[in-house]
Amino acid sequence: MILVTGGAGFIGANFVLDWLAHSDEPVVNLDKLTYAGNMQSLQSLDARSAHHFVRGDIGDRVLVESLLREHQPRAVVHFAAESHVDRSIHGPGDFIQTNVVGTFNLLESVRTYWSALAPEQAQAFRMLHVSTDEVYGSLQANDAPFTERHAYEPNSPYSASKAASDHLVRAWHHTYGLPVLTTNCSNNYGPYHFPEKLIPLVIHNALAGKPLPIYGDGLQVRDWLYVGDHCSAIRTVLANGRLGETYNVGGWNEKTNLDVVRAICAHLDAAKPKVSGSYADQISFVADRPGHDRRYAIDASKLSDELGWRPRETFETGIAKTIDWYLNHPQWVDNVTSGAYRDWVHQQYAAQAR
In eight-state DSSP terms, residue 24 is -
**End-to-end alpha-carbon separation of the chain, Å?**
32
Q: Of residues 31, 57, 82, 133, which has the active-site annotation? A: 133
What is the layout of strands, in order, in the sheet containing 75-78? 51-55, 27-31, 2-5, 75-78, 126-132, 180-185, 246-249
| Distance between CA atoms of residues 208 and 206, nearest Å | 5
Verify whether residue 217 is a known catalytic residue: no
Which stretches does DSSP call E strand in 233-320? 246-249, 254-256, 283-286
Number of C-beta neighbours around residue 91 at 10 A: 12
The answer to whether residue 134 is catalytic is yes
Active-site annotation holder among 113, 136, 158, 247 = 158
Give the torsion through C-alpha atoms of 325, 330, 331, 332, to 10 deg.
40
- Give helix 257-271 / helix 315-328 axis angle, nearest 10°: 50
DSSP at 20: H
> Is 94 annotated as catalytic?
no
Catalytic: which of 134, 166, 223, 254?
Answer: 134
Q: Give the residue from 13, 177, 137, 156 showing the smallest Cα distance to 80.
A: 13
The candidate with the shortest Cα–Cα distance to 100, out of 139, 131, 134, is 131
Residues carrying an active site annotation? 133-134, 158
